[in-house]
Amino acid sequence: MATIPKRTSDVIDHFGPHVAYAHGKRLDAGAQAECLVKTHCCFCGQQCGIQLKVKDNTVIGFEPWTEFPFNRGKLCPKGVKRYLQGSHPDRLATALARSESAPGGFASIAYRDAISRVAAEIERIQSAHGNDAFAVLSGASLTTEKAYLMGKFAHMCLRTSNIDYNGRLCMVSAGAANKKAFGIDRAANPWEDIPRADVVWISGANIAECAPITTDYVWQARENGAQIIVVDPRVTPIARTCDLFLPVKPGRDIALFNGILHLMIENGWVDQLFVDRYTTGLDAVAEHVQQWTPKRTAEVTGIAETHIRRAAEIWGTARRSFLLHARGIEHHSHGVQNVLGAINIVLASGRIGRPGCGYATITGQANGQGGREHGQKCDQLPGGRDLGNPDHRAHVASVWGIEPESLPQPGVDAYEIFRKIERGEIRGLLSICFNPVVSLPDNNYVRRMLEKLEFYGAIDFFLNETARHANIVLPGSLHEEDEGTVTQAEGRVIKINKAVEPPGDARQDWRIIQDIAAALGRERGFTFTEPREIFDELRAASRGGVCDYYGITYEKIENRLGVFWPCPELEHEGTPRLFEPGSWNPIARGSGPFYFPDGRARFNVAAYSPPAEDVDEEYPIILTTGRVVSQFLSGTQTRRIGPLVDQYSEPRVEIHPTLAARLGIRDGAWTRVRSRRGECTLRAMVVNTIRPDTVFIPYHWPDARSANQLTIAAQDPISKIPEYKVCAVRLCPAESEPAYVREETKR
């Protein structure tokens, strides 16, 4: 029974989150750093370069790294304060076993014993119920080496189909659509193309808060004369001064893209030469978008018709352009269709694969790109290869020295893993770098499923809210305690460098995985002595695939401050901009710029359908969720960093004054938000920067403050991304402050 062993408050007293502030040598103005370690931020997918100041095996501060080309020293508040996650009072320095009698519900145990327990449970569950009865949940904040090893561990050591990762909540809609349209899943352009564009179109991307460094690229485009179009249900900081703001009703982005394409065709704004030469499928799409007249588009999207026409004209007549999108259009039960709609207007414009002509999704997680390429995704093998493809299986099996038949078949997505727990098909779980009770939708269900597990082992550096359910917790490594590579939002492979050693019994995650493999008596293939060796095997495993890393080495990354994949040979320079004439492409082999045998990009019909749960009389208001600038994802790290907590300390419900007045809710008042799945009482923030039919709650908090108590577990049929961006709720003023606040005040 993986229930929480103690009252939540007891667990928090012992394992946090507690907030850390600078003190001691971190506050001492005279403290001289012994060294500055050039590395990257541990948080979002931009992976800003940063130098960590190290003294006595502690990171005591930072110094901007102005030479790193992506950010040139720029950092957001998370990057500035990231160093406070190290030497933290909540840091796990020993293995833990759940124990009713121990303070906080967990007792420290010897690392070796913990490993033996995990291995014994894997053995027991797999021999009694089959290999697939033990599942692995991994994460996209891991280095590419670790992500690769997690996939190899599940597929080769555990021989389970059931591994998936938290990139499932992040980039998969964009990834699936990019593969359908371009045959490759990567930002098509480096960010240096943004300031060269005449138009920057931003759909569903709160750039200022979720990818702050990208702001300067957008503003520089504006300085150079570009017009900025922002599509969002909220006037985000980047929307405030844009040239055209389209306040889309959540869940209606396809309708807008189809409406824009309709006007491009009607007005002759399609680049017919490009379409004829390099694409296929526009005819069917053109027929489909005939119904998307400006009037109908306005009715469905909630955007004024004049604004739709203006957007189409600005986009249609541009010479150079860059379209960016993020989770705002991807977190939907039709997220893939949304992205295909966006790609259609890019392809019709012909503005891709040239300087100043670009397209990209803004990857969210630290290694959102690298973490989705090398085999920790349920249907994937290294190099962006498919687990269901016999040729791909044969290639990877040969690198791993095993028979292709011994590789399991594709498994299921992260949410389906919980449904399999409900059905008794999965009985054991090992997780790393994933906090699903905060980050998955309808998280009361997720909690109940964790309670059904026979065994749950968690690897983490803090006891995150999900790990509270674990039987065994293994102390893993912080970002600054290991080296390896990540691939950031642009597709640039960069190097993470170790600054300090892990404390106590904690150790690098790849060592923990290898220790489990050894305890299972299956250490073959899991005897790496350093991340470089893992990377070298990954290079070989990815060779010849679409995500080809063969030509990338640690030295090359450090000498060139990053190398863009694909990079198929050691002499190859890497590929900053995709789809350029003559650029390396193992699929098209010279027949065209895109990654299909005929070299042509695909237009795809993007059919509109309403959200899985539309509003009705009972639940008349749309809830949409997202992030704030000072917190990151499930908050395991950022809710432990004092200055970041102070900046935005608890989630608030953003409500338009029109709606607030109708419901009798005042700014700052306790407000109950209820959906069919749960309820949540939070303070209201009455602002006219949100649509009157929509409320917004950031999702970084657990338990009673968690927005994901309300969200719906509807998923895109292709990408399996959950629909975080739309569900139906009702609101009312709360009679009094909520119980959780009263309890916290008492304590």
Partner 1 sequence: MGVPGNMEFFIDPSRCIGCQACVQACSECDTHKGHAMIHLEYIDRSLSTQTAPVVCMHCDIPTCAEVCPADAIKRTADGVVQSARKPRCIACSNCVMACPFGVPKMQVEMELMMKCDMCYDRTSAGLKPMCATVCPSQALFFGTREELAELRPRSRPANTFHFGNQTITTKVNMLVPKGGGAASVNVIDAFDEEPVGMSISIDPLLAGMYVEDQRNAS
Where do contacts with partner 1 occur on this chain (CB under 8 A)? 22, 27-29, 61-62, 64, 66, 73-77, 79-81, 208-209, 212-213, 215-216, 219-220, 222-224, 235-241, 244-247, 249, 298-299, 301-305, 307, 629-630, 643-644, 647, 656-659, 662, 667, 685-693
Q: Which is nearer to partner 1, 301 or 675 (CB)?
A: 301
Q: What are phi and psi of 128, to 5 degrees?
A: -80, -35
Using the minimum distance from each CB to partner 1, give the nearer residue, 240 or 319.
240
Distances (CA, A) of 406 to 134, 156, 245, 391, 393: 17, 8, 53, 14, 10
Contacts with 742 (C-beta within 8 Å, 6 or more apart), sequence order? none
Q: Give 116 or 220: the residue with its C-beta nearer to partner 1.
A: 220
SS3 of residue 625 by DSSP: strand
Q: How far is the CB of 400 from partner 1 (least distance, A)?
A: 42
Smallest distance from partner 1 to CB 41, Å:
11
Q: Rounded to the nearest whole angstrom, what is the least distance from the CB of residue 609 to partner 1 in the complex?
A: 19
* Nearest-10 Cα torsion for 415, 420, 421, 422: 100
Tell me whether residue 277 or residue 662 sits nearer to partner 1 (CB atom): 662
Q: Least distance in Å: CB of 342 to partner 1?
A: 19
CA–CA separation, 633 and 701 (whole Å): 9
Q: How far is the CB of 190 from partner 1 (least distance, A)?
A: 18
Q: Is 234 exposed, middle or buried (0-12, 13-18, 19+ CB in 10 A)?
A: buried
- Tell me whether residue 317 or residue 688 sits nearer to partner 1 (CB atom): 688
Cα-Cα-Cα-Cα dihedral sign, residues 201, 206, 209, 211 = negative
Structure tokens at 660: 């607030």
Nearer to partner 1, 288 or 691 (CB): 691
Beta strands, E only, 512-603? 563-564, 601-602
Q: Tell the smallest beta-carbon distance from residue 66 to partner 1 (Å).
A: 7
Q: Which is nearer to partner 1, 298 or 343 (CB)?
A: 298
Nearest distance from C-beta of residue 487 to partner 1, angstroms: 21
DSSP state of 60: E
Q: Which is nearer to partner 1, 75 or 188 (CB)?
A: 75
Question: Does residue 695 contact residue 725 with C-beta atoms inside 8 Å?
Answer: no
CB of 432 or CB of 697, closer to partner 1: 697
Q: What's the token pair of residue 155?
A: 């597929």
Between β-strands 563-564 and 106-109, what pairing exists: parallel, antiparallel or unpaired?
unpaired
Spatial contact of 437 and 450, defined as CB atoms under 8 Å apart: yes
SS (H, E, C) 686-712: ECCCECCCEEEEECCCCHHHCHHHCCC
The least distance separating partner 1 from the CB of residue 61, rounded to whole angstroms, comes to 6
Picking from 494, 556, 575, 398, the residue whose alpha carbon sits closest to that of residue 145 is 494
CA–CA distance, 96 with 499 (Å, rounded to integer):
25
Beta bridge partners of 321: 199
Q: What is the CA radius of gyration of the chain?
A: 25
Q: How far is the CB of 57 from partner 1 (least distance, A)?
A: 20
What are 671's two structure tokens? Answer: 């407000």
CB of 459 to partner 1, least distance (A): 30
Long-range contacts of 453-456 (CB under 8 A, 24+ apart): 453/2, 453/421, 453/426, 453/427, 453/428, 453/429, 454/121, 454/125, 454/427, 454/428, 455/2, 455/121, 455/125, 455/427, 455/428, 455/429, 456/2, 456/428, 456/429, 456/430, 456/431
Q: Report residue 119 as tokens.
A: 């291995």
Of 666 and 676, the one with the shorter C-beta distance to partner 1 is 666
At its nearest, how many Å lie between partner 1 and the CB of residue 5? 36
Residue with tokens 């890497």: 574
DSSP 161-203: S-EEEGGGGTTHHHHHHHHHHHSS-S-SS-GGGGGG-SEEEEE
> From the CB of 652, what's the least distance to partner 1, in Å?
11
Which of residues 50 and 673 has its CB atom nearest to partner 1 in the complex?
50
Q: Are 531 and 482 spatial neighbours (Cβ–Cβ below 8 Å)?
A: yes
Quote the least distance from Cβ 660 to partner 1, whole Å: 10
Smallest distance from the beta carbon of 353 to partner 1, in angstroms?
A: 27
Name which of 75 and 326 has its Cβ closer to partner 1. 75
- Distance in Å, CB of 694 to partner 1, minimum: 9
> In the complex with partner 1, which residue's Cβ is closer, 75 or 318?
75
Q: Pick between residue 103 and residue 620 the one whose CB is nearest to partner 1.
A: 620
**How many Cα atoms within 13 Å fall on the side-chain side of residue 437?**
23
Distances (CA, A) of 605 to 120, 263, 274, 377: 50, 16, 19, 26
Q: Which is nearer to partner 1, 29 or 273 (CB)?
A: 29
